[in-house]
Amino acid sequence: MNESPSRYDVIITVARDGGRLPDPVTFAVAADRTASRRSASIISAHTADAIISVVTVTAPGRYAALAVARAVVSDALNQQAPSPRQSAGDDGRGAEDQRTSAT
């Protein structure tokens, strides 16, 4: 039995966790680029301690949507150039999914 894909909004929070967060504009450009390559869309809000992203994905199930959303944010973070004051092992990543819901 095949189900048609549904649209999911996945919230992913990246905590600073003692390191530095990427530049908001640079992250937004990278996230938009990676989302479009995966047929998704992303909206992000930046606070002093975190990046909160809502990734909208059309997928056959919530686990597939979670995988795509995590990949979008991970790829956007990997495209960031480390700042001169940031050490190689201190990239501030601590992505975790907060909530998954179908719209």
Residues 6+ apart with CB under 8 A from 87: none
What pLDDT score was predicted for residue 81? 53
Pairing of strands 6-15, 40-46: unpaired
Statement: residue 18 has pLDDT above 90: no
Asked: is 11-82+93-102 a CATH 3.30.70 domain? The reply is yes
Going from N- to C-terminal start, the domains of the chain cover 11-82+93-102
Listed range (17-21, 62-66, 81-85, 91-95) with the worst mean pLDDT: 91-95
Confidence of residue 20 (pLDDT cuts 50, 70, 90): confident
DSSP one-letter string for 17-55: TTS-PPPHHHHHHHHHHHHHHTTEEEEEEE-SSEEEEEE
CA pair distance 73, 81, nearest whole angstrom: 15
Give the residue with greater pLDDT, 101 vs 61: 61
